[in-house]
């Protein structure tokens, strides 16, 4: 690995906008932080791209090159950018005309949504995780089938 | 004026809660005087929750459910814009002191916000009110779920009987046959009631009193009843089969016609497999139910009532005993069915899975072999095949247990009847004869037998009706607008095209065309240049009226595009597409697709002009060669030349070449180019090409970037101005040099 790959980087934030500065540089550039694989189990790989021309500036496989405040800023930015509610409880789910109607509680609050074409929009990742995509294109993450409460599991088993 | 506007927006956006209104009033705002109101569904902390933004006077006020969280003067805002995030977005304001996030929302609200953003920017720029486009209601007010089809009717809240009513409405033309079914149902049930009664008479009047005088008459009636029953059932079966087949054929024909008339956007949102499945599977399911399920329900429902009455009149005490297992049967059926249903879903899912694995393996056989994946594919297939087997096994064992179990329950009922009746008979009860008992047992079997299937049939009915509703939902989707009352009659289309501030988006919130303005003169050749995804093909889609613009106007010969009848319009436009579509049929039919009456001479002339004549003659059956799916394979270049010939034969006022020569090799391209040059002459032509060299003859080039026209002029003018076009040309000539060098090497 070349030296440049271990170069420290610094993040800062102003007016809701993330800025990146390489160690030794004077100027900060406005950037966006993107997950390389937002839906698969490994959400750790983060690409930092230039806000304007979308060119990649650095690809982070770990957070080693950041200081503590930079890590926090990056985590906050990812949390802000990636709206992927985690399903914690299923209040109700039923099927009508082949469409699935879900009523769930997520880590971002409760939500009723409609899921169409279940063959495409209910995707298994491994054997315990399901990603649901609703009719508006919002994804919901059901992280661990087994960790749900009994009622939710029962509802799920009825339709899966 | 502004008051009305807020009234309108209130209709489709959630009303402000009282607490918010009070809080706004405490801050000195009058919410009812707001010009615009928009609601968002994510709070500042990133959780689901409602917040609102109002434009009151010159102030933007943002409030969540609790309190006012932001107040901004319009004069402090340079512009607002949308930051797209993952599954959500943020409406931001560019202020003097930096950018501010105003509201966060999910994709569900994207359309409202895209619209609002544009309106607000115009308001900031001009200081004038701009009308807000109304959005369709997207959430059902009854159940709170999003509405599946965006037509405002929640399919979940439509009752089952309305489907039945509609189905009956479809049978209207075949009323007489429907009556025949109902009448035969009465006759069949009546005939079914006779044999047990005859049994009673034989036992009581013949066997017990040892008098055979009435025997031949009774046996005769019994045989006759059997024949009547058989004939009635046969008529019911045949007529309902005819009716349902007729009904389904009607439905399919209507579906097919309707599908072709739907707007293209309908097909963007759904896979073709999904639509084909709806037309074929749902109608088949419905048909089977109408043939078998509905007569079953009719006959057995009616006989159930009749037998109940007969049993009660024979002996009310025994009848009550006979009714005793009925609730158990019904509850048992429900219980078993509840457990079987998820298994049926599972079976369907696994079957779909193995079908798609199989299809993928066959289609991708080269790739699988090349990667040495045969075993991995086989394992993958086996995994689901085994799952399918197990679900099937469990369903079958469940079904057997279910039908044997309910048979046992019925036998218990019959045994109890025998027990009580025998006690009464041996105790010399005058009210009950041996004949009564035998008739009773005969009726009871007729009574019990259909019971176990009622639950299953009801479920079947639900599924069939769900299919019917899906079919109706297609039929209810609004078709393209073909004609208007004020459509221009028999227009002579010359081909002058004008775009006035045209905005368009396929997906709500993602604007593809951002206010296009341009004018194409009659007979002019225009080249559209730009990277892919910048809106070139979209412009063509709008000219063909495959889609309607969100706002702005498109004029053809100075008249609004939608004043032309769709048939006239499409007839005046010839398209040679990037991915030419070949219909199943002969080459001759394919070339003459737009002009079915063309003579073979005309077809050959067109083919010759398109440089297709020679390769067509080389095929075994020349112009009669069958092409298209399952027909003779054509290369990409050959397909393209066929569609060029099609356009030549159609002789349209407007010619659209969408990457018309992209699939042809360079040599053929040169020969086609001359054909195209001849075709282009004297008609309006719009050409898209990535190989810029092919556009050199264009009268004018429009450079499209990110939904806007950024440069226009002739090839030479644009080269001199050293803009985007000049850069594209430079990159391409460098590439060409490189490949030329590679050739030499």
The rounded Cα B277 to chain-centroid distance in angstroms is 10
Q: Verify that A52 and A95 share a domain, yes or no.
A: no
Q: What is the pLDDT of residues B494-531, one digit of tens each?
A: 888 888 888 888 776 677 888 888 888 888 888 888 87
H and E: helices and strands count for chain B: 25, 19
Q: Which of A44-58, A134-148, B146-160 has the lowest mean pLDDT?
A: B146-160
Query: Exposed, middle or buried by CB within 10 Å (0-12, 13-18, 19+), for B70?
Result: middle
Query: Which chain B residues are closer than 8 Å to A80 by Cβ?
Result: 46, 85
> CB atoms < 10 A from the CB of A40, how many?
13
Q: Verify that A62 and A19 share a domain, yes or no.
A: yes
How far is the C-alpha of B577 from the C-alpha of B646, rounded, in Å? 11
Query: Exposed, middle or buried by CB within 10 Å (0-12, 13-18, 19+), for B342?
Result: middle
Q: Verify that A91 and A155 share a domain, yes or no.
A: yes
B654-658 vs A109-115, strand pairing mode: unpaired
Q: Report residue B9's pLDDT band, with 50, 70 and 90 as the boundaries.
A: very low
How far is the C-alpha of B557 from the C-alpha of B495, rounded, in Å? 6
Contact at 8 Å (CB) between A102 and B145? no
How far is the C-alpha of B693 from the C-alpha of B686, rounded, in Å? 15
Whole-complex ipTM: 0.89
- Closest-CA residue in chain A for B156? A96
Nearest CB neighbour to B108, from listed A15, A79, A138: A138
- Closest-CA residue in chain A for B466? A97
Query: Exposed, middle or buried by CB within 10 Å (0-12, 13-18, 19+), for A64?
Result: exposed
Q: Higher confidence at residue B172 or residue B675?
A: B172
Q: Higher confidence at residue A159 or residue B521?
A: B521
Q: Verify that A14 and A75 share a domain, yes or no.
A: yes
Q: Which of B39-53, B98-112, B263-277 has the lowest mean pLDDT?
A: B263-277
Most confident region among B109-118, B380-389, B657-666 by mean pLDDT:
B380-389
State which of A81, A100, A120 marks the end of a domain: A81
What pLDDT, on a 0 to 100 scale, did the predictor assign at position A104? Answer: 94
Map residue B36 onto helix, strand or coil: strand
* Inter-chain touch A137–B87, beta carbons under 8 Å: yes
Query: Which chain B residues are closer than 8 Å to A136 by Cβ?
Result: 106-108, 110, 146
Q: Which of A38-52, B11-25, B64-78 has the lowest mean pLDDT?
A: B11-25
- Closest-CA residue in chain B for A109? B48
Q: CA angle A129-A133-A136, nearest 5°?
A: 160
Phi, psi for residue B313 in degrees, rounded to 5: -75, -25
Q: Which residues of B504-541 are buried (b: 16+ CB within 10 A; e: fewer)?
A: bbeebbebbbebbebebeebbbbbbbbeeebbbbbbbb
What pLDDT, on a 0 to 100 scale, did the predictor assign at position B10? Answer: 41
B559-560 vs A9-14, strand pairing mode: unpaired
Beta-strand (E) ranges in B17-150?
A: 36-42, 48-56, 59-64, 68-73, 77-84, 88-95, 98-106
The closest of B546, B548, B494, B551 to B520, measured between CA atoms, is B494
Query: Which chain A residues are closer than 8 Å to B155 by Cβ?
Result: 96-97, 99
Q: Higher confidence at residue B5 or residue B289?
A: B289
Q: Higher confidence at residue B548 or residue A41?
A: B548
Q: Report residue B218's pLDDT band, with 50, 70 and 90 as the boundaries.
A: very high
Q: What is the mean pLDDT of chain B?
A: 82
The closest of B106, B111, B103 to B80, measured between CA atoms, is B103
Nearest CB neighbour to B99, from listed A16, A97, A139: A16
What pLDDT, on a 0 to 100 scale, did the predictor assign at position A88? Answer: 93
* Inter-chain touch B46–A38, beta carbons under 8 Å: no
How far is the C-alpha of B343 from the C-alpha of B340, rounded, in Å? 5
> CB atoms < 10 A from the CB of B581, how many?
11
State which of A81, A110, A142 marks the end of a domain: A81
A42: containing domain: 9-81
Q: What is the pLDDT of residues B586-641, one digit of tens each?
A: 888 888 887 778 888 888 888 888 888 888 888 878 888 888 776 777 877 788 88
A2 within some domain: no
A3 within some domain: no
The closest of B308, B322, B337 to B403, measured between CA atoms, is B337
What pLDDT, on a 0 to 100 scale, did the predictor assign at position B745? Answer: 55
DSSP bridge pairs for A46: A35, A60
Query: Which chain A residues are closer than 8 Å to B145 by Cβ?
Result: 101, 112-114
Contact at 8 Å (CB) between B704 and B690? no
Contact at 8 Å (CB) between B54 and B61? yes
Q: Report residue B742's pLDDT band, with 50, 70 and 90 as the boundaries.
A: low
Query: Which chain B residues are closer than 8 Å to A117 by Cβ?
Result: 270-271, 274
Q: What is the pLDDT of residues B356-373, one digit of tens each?
A: 888 888 888 888 888 888
Q: What is the pTM of this model?
A: 0.65
Query: Which chain A residues are closer than 8 Å to B101 by Cβ?
Result: 16
Q: Verify that A47 and A100 share a domain, yes or no.
A: no
Is any Cβ of chain B less than 8 angstroms from the Cβ of A86? no
- Closest-CA residue in chain B for A159? B342
Q: How far is A103 from chain B (nearest CA, A)?
A: 9
Residue whose pair of structure tokens reads 């032509």 in the numeric block: B685
H or E element that contains A99: strand A99-106
How far is the C-alpha of B121 from the C-alpha of B98, rounded, in Å? 17
Cα radius of gyration (chain A): 19
- Which of B42, B78, B87 to substitute to test the interface with A, most A CBs within 10 Å? B87
Q: Verify that A77 and A91 share a domain, yes or no.
A: no
A4 within some domain: no
Residue whose pair of structure tokens reads 């005793």 in the numeric block: B324
Query: Which chain B residues are closer than 8 Å to A157 by Cβ?
Result: 342
Q: How far is A52 from chain B (nearest CA, A)?
A: 12
Q: Report residue A105's pLDDT band, with 50, 70 and 90 as the boundaries.
A: very high
- Closest-CA residue in chain B for A116? B148
Q: What percentage of chain B reaches a pLDDT higher than 70?
A: 91
A54 within some domain: yes
Q: Report residue B269's pLDDT band, with 50, 70 and 90 as the boundaries.
A: low
Is any Cβ of chain B less than 8 angstroms from the Cβ of A64? no
What pLDDT, on a 0 to 100 scale, did the predictor assign at position B7? Answer: 43
Q: Report residue B664's pLDDT band, with 50, 70 and 90 as the boundaries.
A: low
- Which of A96, A127, A153 to substitute to test the interface with B, most B CBs within 10 Å? A96
Long-range contacts at B82-85 (CB < 8 A, ≥ 24 apart): B82/B113, B82/B114, B82/B117, B82/B509, B85/A80, B85/A81, B85/A82, B85/A83
Q: Verify that A134 and A77 share a domain, yes or no.
A: no
What are the C-alpha distances in Å from B534 to residues B344, B483, B555, B579, B688? 46, 31, 22, 19, 12
* Inter-chain touch A97–B144, beta carbons under 8 Å: no
Map residue B505 onto helix, strand or coil: strand
How far is the C-alpha of B333 from the C-alpha of A62, rounded, in Å? 58
Q: How far is B134 from chain A (nearest CA, A)?
A: 19
What pLDDT, on a 0 to 100 scale, did the predictor assign at position B630? Answer: 67
Residues 120-139 (A) with a CB less than 8 A from some CB of B: 120, 134-139
How far is the C-alpha of B538 from the C-alpha of B545, rounded, in Å? 10
The rounded Cα B81 to chain-centroid distance in angstroms is 33
Most confident region among A114-118, B233-237, B493-497, B618-622 by mean pLDDT:
B233-237
- Closest-CA residue in chain B for A154? B342
- The tokens for B420 are 């009580």
Query: Which chain B residues are closer than 8 Å to A92 by Cβ?
Result: none
The closest of A119, A114, A133 to B154, measured between CA atoms, is A114
Q: CA angle B663-B507-B660, nearest 5°?
A: 15
- Number of structural domains, chain A? 2
- The tokens for B375 are 């075993």
Average pLDDT rounded to a whole number, residues B85-113: 87
Query: Exposed, middle or buried by CB within 10 Å (0-12, 13-18, 19+), for A115?
Result: buried
- Closest-CA residue in chain B for A102? B145
Query: Which chain B residues are closer than 8 Å to A17 by Cβ?
Result: 99
pLDDT of B12 > 70? The answer is no
Nearest CB neighbour to B99, from listed A15, A98, A101: A15
A1 within some domain: no
Q: Verify that A13 and A49 share a domain, yes or no.
A: yes
Nearest CB neighbour to B145, from listed A16, A112, A157: A112
Q: Verify that A18 and A52 share a domain, yes or no.
A: yes
pLDDT of A1 > 50? The answer is no
Is any Cβ of chain B less than 8 angstroms from the Cβ of A16? yes
Q: How far is B48 from chain A (nearest CA, A)?
A: 5
What pLDDT, on a 0 to 100 scale, did the predictor assign at position A3? Answer: 41
Contact at 8 Å (CB) between A111 and A131? no
* Inter-chain touch B46–A79, beta carbons under 8 Å: yes
The closest of A99, A96, A92 to B462, measured between CA atoms, is A96
Query: Which residues from B are below 8 Å from A when comparing CB atoms?
Result: 42, 46-49, 85-88, 92, 97-101, 106-108, 110, 143-148, 155-156, 270-271, 274, 342, 345-346, 349, 352, 466, 469-470, 473
One-character DSSP codes across B221-249: HHHHHHHHHHHHHHHHHHHHHHHHHHHHH
B88-95 vs B77-84, strand pairing mode: antiparallel
Q: Which of A1-10, A79-88, B586-595, B637-646 has the lowest mean pLDDT?
A: A1-10
Contact at 8 Å (CB) between B606 and B588? no
- Closest-CA residue in chain B for A94? B156
* Inter-chain touch B107–A138, beta carbons under 8 Å: yes
The rounded Cα A10 to chain-centroid distance in angstroms is 23
Most confident region among A41-45, A68-72, B400-404, B614-618 by mean pLDDT:
A68-72
Nearest CB neighbour to A97, from listed B88, B271, B466: B466
What pLDDT, on a 0 to 100 scale, did the predictor assign at position B235? Answer: 94
pLDDT of B13 > 50? The answer is no
A122-125 vs B551-556, strand pairing mode: unpaired
Q: Verify that A155 and A105 share a domain, yes or no.
A: yes
> CB atoms < 10 A from the CB of B569, how many?
22
What pLDDT, on a 0 to 100 scale, did the predictor assign at position B231? Answer: 95
Q: Verify that A99 and A74 share a domain, yes or no.
A: no
Q: Which of B232-246, B472-486, B548-562 has the lowest mean pLDDT?
A: B472-486
Find the Cα–Cα–Cα–Cα dihedral B173, B176, B180, B186, rounded to 10°: 100
Q: How many Cβ pairs closer than 8 A exist between chain A and B? A: 96
> CB atoms < 10 A from the CB of B701, how many?
23
H or E element that contains A34: strand A29-35
Helix axes B325-363, B316-323, angle to 10 degrees: 30
B573-576 vs B585-586, strand pairing mode: unpaired
Cα radius of gyration (chain B): 37
Nearest CB neighbour to A97, from listed B87, B146, B155: B155
- Closest-CA residue in chain A for B353? A119
* Inter-chain touch B87–A83, beta carbons under 8 Å: yes
Contacts of residue A85, Cβ cutoff 8 Å, sequence gap at least 6: A106, A107, A108, A109, A111, A138, A140, A141, B48
pLDDT of B228 > 90? The answer is yes
Name the percent of chain B in helix, strand, coil, to the closest 5.
60, 15, 25
The closest of B599, B518, B510, B603 to B553, measured between CA atoms, is B518
Q: Verify that A47 and A101 share a domain, yes or no.
A: no
Sheet holding B551-556, edge to edge: B511-520, B497-505, B551-556, B559-560
Most confident region among A46-55, A57-66, B8-17, B385-394 by mean pLDDT:
B385-394
State which of A63, A81, A99 marks the end of a domain: A81
H or E element that contains A48: strand A46-50
pLDDT of B2 > 60? The answer is no
One-character DSSP codes across B652-696: -SEEEEESTTTTS-HHHHHHHHHHHHHHHTTSEEEEE-SSGGGGT
* Inter-chain touch A97–B470, beta carbons under 8 Å: yes
DSSP bridge pairs for B91: B82, B103
Average pLDDT rounded to a whole number, residues B29-36: 82
Contact at 8 Å (CB) between B52 and B113? no
- Closest-CA residue in chain A for B465? A97
How far is the C-alpha of B287 from the C-alpha of B173, rounded, in Å? 17
How far is the C-alpha of A128 from the C-alpha of A152, rounded, in Å? 14
* Inter-chain touch A98–B92, beta carbons under 8 Å: no
């Amino acid at each position: 690995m070349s030296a440049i790959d271990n170069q420290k980087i610094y993040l800062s934030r102003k007016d809701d906008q993330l800025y990146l500065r390489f160690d030794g540089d004077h100027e900060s550039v406005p950037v966006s932080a993107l997950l390389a694989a937002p839906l698969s189990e490994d959400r750790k790989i983060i690409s930092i791209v230039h806000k304007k021309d979308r060119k990649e500036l650095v690809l982070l496989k770990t957070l080693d090159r950041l200081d503590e405040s930079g890590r926090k800023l990056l985590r906050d930015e990812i949390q802000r950018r990636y709206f992927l509610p985690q399903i914690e409880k299923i209040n109700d789910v039923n099927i009508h005309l082949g469409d699935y109607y879900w009523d769930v509680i997520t880590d971002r609050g409760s939500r009723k949504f409609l899921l169409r074409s279940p063959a495409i929009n209910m995707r298994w990742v491994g054997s315990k995780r399901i990603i649901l995509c609703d009719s508006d294109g919002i994804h919901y993450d059901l992280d661990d089938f087994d960790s749900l409460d009994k009622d939710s599991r029962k509802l799920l088993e009825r339709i899966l | 004026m502004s008051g009305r506007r807020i009234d309108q927006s209130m209709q489709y956006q959630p009303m402000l809660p009282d607490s918010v209104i009070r809080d706004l009033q405490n801050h000195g705002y009058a919410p009812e005087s707001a010009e615009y109101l928009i609601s968002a569904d994510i709070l500042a902390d990133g959780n689901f929750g409602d917040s609102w933004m109002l434009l009151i006077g010159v102030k933007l006020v943002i409030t969540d459910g609790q309190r006012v969280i932001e107040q901004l003067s319009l004069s402090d805002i340079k512009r607002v814009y949308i930051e797209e995030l993952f599954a959500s977005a943020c409406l931001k304001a560019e202020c003097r002191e930096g950018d501010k996030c105003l509201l966060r929302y999910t994709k569900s609200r994207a359309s409202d916000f895209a619209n609002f953003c544009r309106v607000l920017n115009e308001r900031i720029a001009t200081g004038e009110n701009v009308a807000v486009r109304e959005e369709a209601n997207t959430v059902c007010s009854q159940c709170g779920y999003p509405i599946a089809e965006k037509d405002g009717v929640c399919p979940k809240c439509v009752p089952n009987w309305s489907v039945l009513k509609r189905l009956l409405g479809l049978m209207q033309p075949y009323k007489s046959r429907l009556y025949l079914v109902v009448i035969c149902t009465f006759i069949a049930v009546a005939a079914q009631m006779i044999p047990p009664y005859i049994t009673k008479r034989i036992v009581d009047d013949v066997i017990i009193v040892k008098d055979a005088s009435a025997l031949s008459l009774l046996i005769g009636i019994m045989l006759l009843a059997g024949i009547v029953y058989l004939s009635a059932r046969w008529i019911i079966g045949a007529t309902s089969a005819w009716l349902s087949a007729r009904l389904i054929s009607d439905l399919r024909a209507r579906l097919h016609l309707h599908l072709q008339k739907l707007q293209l956007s309908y097909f963007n949102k759904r896979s073709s497999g999904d639509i084909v499945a709806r037309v074929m599977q749902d109608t088949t399911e419905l048909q089977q139910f109408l043939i078998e399920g509905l007569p079953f329900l009719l006959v057995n429902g009616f006989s159930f009532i009749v037998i109940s009455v007969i049993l009660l009149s024979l002996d009310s005490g025994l009848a009550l005993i006979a009714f005793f297992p009925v609730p158990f049967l019904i509850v048992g059926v429900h219980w078993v069915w509840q457990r079987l249903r998820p298994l049926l879903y599972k079976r369907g899912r696994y079957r779909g899975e193995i079908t798609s694995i199989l299809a993928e393996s066959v289609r991708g056989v080269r790739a699988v072999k090349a990667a040495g994946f045969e075993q991995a594919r086989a394992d993958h297939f086996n995994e689901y095949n085994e799952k399918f087997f197990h679900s099937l096994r469990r369903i079958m064992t469940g079904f057997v247990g279910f039908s044997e179990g309910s048979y046992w329950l019925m036998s218990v009922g019959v045994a109890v009847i025998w027990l009580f009746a025998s006690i009464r008979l041996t105790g010399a009860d005058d009210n009950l004869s041996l004949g009564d008992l035998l008739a009773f047992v005969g009726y009871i079997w007729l009574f019990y037998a259909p019971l176990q299937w009622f639950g299953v049939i009801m479920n079947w009915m639900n599924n069939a009706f769900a299919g019917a509703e899906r079919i109706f939902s297609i039929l209810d989707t609004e078709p393209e607008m073909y004609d208007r009352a004020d459509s221009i009659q028999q227009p002579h289309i010359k081909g002058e095209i004008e775009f006035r501030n045209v905005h368009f988006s396929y997906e709500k919130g993602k604007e593809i065309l951002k206010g296009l303005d341009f004018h194409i003169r009659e007979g002019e050749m225009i080249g559209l240049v730009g990277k892919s995804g910048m809106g070139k093909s979209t412009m063509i889609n709008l000219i063909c009226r495959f889609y309607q613009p969100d706002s702005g106007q498109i004029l053809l010969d100075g008249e609004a595009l939608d004043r032309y009848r769709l048939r006239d319009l499409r007839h005046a436009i010839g398209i040679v597409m990037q991915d030419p579509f070949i219909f199943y049929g002969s080459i001759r039919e394919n070339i003459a697709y737009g002009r079915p009456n063309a003579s073979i001479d005309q077809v050959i002339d067109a083919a010759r002009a398109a440089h297709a004549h020679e390769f067509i003659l080389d095929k075994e059956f020349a112009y009669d060669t069958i092409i298209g799916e399952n027909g003779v394979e054509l290369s990409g270049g050959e397909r393209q030349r066929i569609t060029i010939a099609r356009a030549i034969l159609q002789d349209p006022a407007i010619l659209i070449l969408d990457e018309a020569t992209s699939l042809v090799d360079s040599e053929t391209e040169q020969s086609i180019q001359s054909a195209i040059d001849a075709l282009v002459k004297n008609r309006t032509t719009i050409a898209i090409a990535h190989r810029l060299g092919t556009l050199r003859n264009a009268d004018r080039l429009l450079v499209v970037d990110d939904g806007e026209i950024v440069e226009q002029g002739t090839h030479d003018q644009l080269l001199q101005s050293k803009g985007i076009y000049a850069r594209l040309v430079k990159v391409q000539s460098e590439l060409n040099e490189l490949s030329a060098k590679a050739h030499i090497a």
